[in-house]
Structure 1
Amino acid sequence: MGIGVEPALLNDSDLMRELNNLYETRMDALRHASDHALAEHTRRTAELEAEYIRRNPAREIDPERLREGARARGQ
C-alpha cells in the first residue's frame, strides 16, 4: 500500500507541486535514505509521473530528447 494521496485525486497544481518536491529531494533520498525509503521515493515518483503523462498525452516532446536528435548531435 502506498503513502500519499492517490495521484488521480490531485488537481493539476497539486500534482506539479508533489512532483517538484520529489525532484528536489531525490538526491538526498539517493544518498542518505534507507533502502525502503529510497524505494518508496522511487515508487511515488513513478506513480505521479504516470499520472502526469496520463493527463498530458500530447505533451510537447523536444526533438533533441529523441534518439534521432541524439544521433544528429553526435555527427
Structure 2
Amino acid sequence: MTTREMGVDPRELDDDDLFREMRHLHETRNETLLHGSDDALEHHTTRTRELEEEYLKRYPERDIDPGRLRSGARMR
C-alpha cells in the first residue's frame, strides 16, 4: 500500500478497510464541519468522496432501501 497526501489510495484498501475508513469519516463529519479549519473540511470532503466513489465502483448493484426513494417517501 502506498500513502498519499490524502491517505492510502482507496483502490488499494480491502473491503474491511474501506468500510472502516468510511465509518470513521462519517463519525467525524459533524465535528469537522462545526470545528475544523477550512483546510480540514476540504480534506475531509475530498477523502469522503474518494472512498464513497470506490465503494460505488465495487458495489454498483448495492441494496437500495425502497423507503429512501422518492416514491417510498411519498408512501410515508
TM-score, length-scaled by structure 1 = 0.91
Counterpart of 1:28 in structure 2 is: 31
* Structure 1 runs (4+) greater than 3 angstroms displaced: none
Query: For 1:60, which of 33, 58, 63 is the aligned residue?
Result: 63
Give the match for residue 18 of structure 1. 21
Q: Does 1:43 align with 2:46?
A: yes
Please report how far the alpha carbon of residue 22 of structure 1 lies from its aligned counterpart in structure 2 after TM superposition.
0.4
User: Over aligned residue pairs, what C-alpha RMSD do you find?
Assistant: 1.2
In the TM superposition, what is the alpha-carbon distance from 1:12 to its structure 2 partner? 0.3
Q: How many residues align?
A: 73
Deviations 1:11-49 (A, max 9, x none): 001000100110111111011100111011011001101
Q: State the TM-score, normalized to the length of structure 2.
A: 0.90
Q: Relative CO higher for 1 or 2, CA cutoff 8 Å, sep ≥ 6?
A: 1
- Unmatched 5+ stretches in structure 1: none
5+ residue gaps, structure 2, are none
3-state secondary structure, aligned to 2:8? coil
